[in-house]
Amino acid sequence: MHGGDGGVCVLSKAVLSASQKLDESVSFTLCGAEAEIKAEFSKICADIVFNSERFSICDSKPQGNAINNISRLWRTAHDLSIIKCVLLQKDKKVCASFSAGDTGTLYSSALFLLGREAGIERAALAIAMPTISEKQTVLLDIGANAECSPRHLFHFGILGEKYYRKITKESKPKIGILNIGRETYKGTVAVREAAAMMKKEFGEQFFGFVEGNEIFDGKVDVIVCDGFCGNAILKTSESLYHFIQMKIQNLLPPEAIKKMQQFNSSSYGCAPILGLKGNVFKAHGNSSVEALSRAIIKAVESANI
């Protein structure tokens, strides 16, 4: 509950908003400083009863500086709210973990406590992005792994293909890998070798190389890249939306403005960490109450698919 720029104040409002839109069978365990959480909820809804079937609190500490070294994390900060959240999932007391806090801490904790799927060397953050064809394109990794081997990228392809089939029911999604050109000799050694592995694995499902100007075309269902490139793409897309919004929104008809909202980062929901033995979701740290509420609902829906 301490994650994100808005902390307990914003997250409390988001949880309350999401709970009002979700089925009453969905329960929430809020990890954070108990006194602070209760004080914040008392301001927005005096009727909330904690330690009930719907809402409970796991008293834990907020995170200070990011800690990406898992052994140090476990020795010195095992009572952090993010770690307590994943521990509850490990102990099967909750079905999924959700955080707007530090990505490295969430990722490391989830890997250490839940473990990876069999045969997968690296878990990856994924996002379903809008396209001009009305279909969504899953992009991964978007920030968990800045440097990747060919095998890591290949595994991202496997994870992305599986996830796309899960959320769309599409039986044979097209898989591509981000590159600086379509020619087979272009790109890094890691990208070229990963492409060869994907072609062998996916056959006709493998689209080949995807260039940056094709990401939003909708011709490819899953686009694989390392976390450095993926994060840059995501944040560039977000800044472009805000640029257009500031510069030309007042010149557009209402229908066009409504259509443009699908490119607003707050509509993406949250990013699942694929490749784990459990459902773990990461939300944007600077998300608004509305965006976090949508993200929580998306996480619940994804966990239940």
Residue 28 CA, distance from chain mean position: 19
Angstrom distance (rounded) from CA 202 to CA 207: 9
Closest CA to 61 of 33, 97, 89: 33
Co-location of 39 and 109 in the same domain = yes
pLDDT of residue 245 exceeding 90: no
pLDDT at site 75 = 64
DSSP three-state, residue 44 = helix
Who's near 53: CB < 8 A, 6+ residues apart? 27
pLDDT at site 26 = 92
The number of distinct structural domains making up the chain is: 2
Angstrom distance (rounded) from CA 122 to CA 156: 8
CA atoms within 13 A on the CB side of 43: 10
Higher pLDDT, 32 or 3: 32
Question: By mean pLDDT, which of 90-94, 136-140, 237-241 is the weakest?
Answer: 237-241
pLDDT at site 102 = 86
Mean of all residue pLDDT scores within the chain = 88
pLDDT at site 15 = 92
Average of per-residue pLDDT across 74-89 = 82
Co-location of 60 and 173 in the same domain = no
Co-location of 107 and 207 in the same domain = no
Co-location of 236 and 134 in the same domain = yes
pLDDT at site 248 = 79
Co-location of 208 and 290 in the same domain = no
Query: Of all residues in the chain, what percent are helix, strand and coil, respectively (each to 5)?
Result: 50, 15, 35
Co-location of 211 and 167 in the same domain = yes
CA distances from 165 to 169, 171, 173, 174, 226 (A): 5, 6, 7, 11, 21
By percentage, how much of the chain surpasses pLDDT 70?
A: 91
DSSP three-state, residue 62 = coil
> Range of 105's domain?
1-115+276-305
Angstrom distance (rounded) from CA 202 to CA 196: 10
pLDDT at site 227 = 96
pLDDT at site 239 = 86
pLDDT at site 6 = 77
pLDDT at site 268 = 67
Co-location of 88 and 31 in the same domain = yes
What pLDDT band is residue 215 in, cutting at 50, 70 and 90? very high
What pLDDT band is residue 111 in, cutting at 50, 70 and 90? very high
Co-location of 300 and 231 in the same domain = no
pLDDT of residue 259 exceeding 80: no
Co-location of 88 and 189 in the same domain = no
Co-location of 48 and 149 in the same domain = no
What pLDDT band is residue 151 in, cutting at 50, 70 and 90? very high
What pLDDT band is residue 71 in, cutting at 50, 70 and 90? low
Co-location of 181 and 236 in the same domain = yes
Instruction: Report if pTM > 0.85.
Output: yes
Q: What CATH number corresponds to the domain at position 94?
A: 3.40.718.10
Co-location of 266 and 289 in the same domain = no
Higher pLDDT, 154 or 243: 154
Question: By mean pLDDT, which of 36-50, 186-200, 259-273 is the weakest?
Answer: 259-273
